[in-house]
């Protein structure tokens, strides 16, 4: 059985999740984030809040793990609001305190005007012992303009968690130097393809052509294959340090402390 939600697909016969290249061209960043979310599945449970849920692609992962889920989105979301349960901004989430055991917030915090207030809201809504799973871009082009306000370093993410009273469990990078360069190359190439489409006066952008999408996807698949192969054979401390120095983004797992 094959399931598809937004840019995420799931093949039940192989128990395999994948980023759909027909839906997004950010395959490297998407796959690296997907790996992190799958690795954190043991922390996804109970009542889940999906902040900035978009088309709710990650519900393919969390639905079998939780008792219930609620998705929020802003009215001006470029991803649409059809999959959202509640329309609201992340700075003022309309739920009572201690309502959720898990909060998922992927690639949203950079689009909020007051990220520290958002983190305070997450801490308020989490049940003591509950988990926040959050991802943000770092070295990544401006997107969803004009609502792209911030970039966070790994140290900044640690500080913003602490300021909200959350206990940081880890900050992981979504790839290192090569992943960053591949991601930037893809975005630059897409911009050039879009410009060419306008220059030629095409009604259908070239980036929507199967051959062009394939051309942009193949090098990303190649990088991911080599990256995964090297990770199974090499474990070098300097590789980890370089990933912190230059990365397309980071993934945070934090916990609201238990009551004393």
149 touches 110 (CB < 8 A):
yes
The per-residue pLDDT for range 144-198, each reduced to its tens digit, is 999 999 999 999 999 999 999 999 999 999 999 999 999 999 999 999 999 999 9
pTM (two decimals): 0.93
Q: Residue 260 pLDDT more than 60?
A: no
Q: Residue 61 pLDDT more than 80?
A: yes
**Which of 241, 243, 19, 254 shows the shortest CA–CA distance to 138?**
243
CATH homologous superfamily, domain 2-176+245-255: Vaccinia Virus protein VP39 (3.40.50.150)
- Decide: helix, strand or coil at residue 224: helix
Q: Residue 2 pLDDT more than 90?
A: no
Q: Residue 236 pLDDT more than 60?
A: no
How many helices and strands (H and E) does the chain possess? 7, 10
Cα separation, 184 vs 218, in Å, equals 15
What's the confidence (pLDDT) of residue 1? 80
Could you state, in order of their start, the residue ranges of all structural domains in the chain? 2-176+245-255, 179-234
Q: Whole-number mean pLDDT of the chain?
A: 93
pLDDT band at 62; cut points 50, 70, 90:
very high
117 touches 91 (CB < 8 A):
yes
């Amino acid at each position: 059985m094959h399931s598809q939600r937004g840019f995420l697909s799931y093949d039940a016969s192989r128990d395999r999740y994948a980023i759909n290249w027909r839906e997004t061209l950010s395959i490297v960043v998407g796959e690296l984030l997907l790996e992190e979310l799958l690795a954190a599945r043991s922390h996804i449970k109970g009542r889940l809040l999906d902040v900035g849920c978009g088309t709710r692609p990650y519900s393919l992962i969390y639905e079998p793990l939780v008792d219930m889920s609620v998705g929020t989105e802003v009215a001006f979301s470029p991803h649409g609001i059809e999959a959202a349960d509640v329309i609201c901004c992340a700075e003022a989430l309309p739920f009572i305190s201690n309502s959720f055991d898990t909060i998922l917030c992927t690639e949203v915090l950079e689009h909020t005007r007051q990220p520290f207030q958002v983190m305070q809201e997450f801490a308020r809504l989490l049940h003591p012992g509950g988990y926040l799973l959050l991802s943000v871009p770092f070295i990544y082009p401006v997107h969803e303009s004009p609502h792209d306000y911030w970039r966070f370093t790994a140290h900044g993410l640690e500080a913003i968690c602490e300021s909200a009273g959350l206990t940081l469990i880890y900050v992981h990078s979504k790839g290192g130097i090569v992943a960053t360069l591949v991601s930037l190359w893809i975005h630059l190439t897409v911009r050039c393809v879009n410009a060419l489409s306008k220059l030629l006066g095409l009604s259908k952008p070239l980036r929507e052509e199967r051959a062009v999408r394939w051309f942009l996807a193949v090098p990303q698949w190649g990088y991911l294959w080599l990256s995964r192969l090297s990770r199974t054979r090499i474990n070098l401390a300097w590789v980890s340090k370089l990933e912190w120095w230059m990365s397309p983004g980071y993934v945070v797992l934090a916990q609201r402390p238990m009551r004393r």
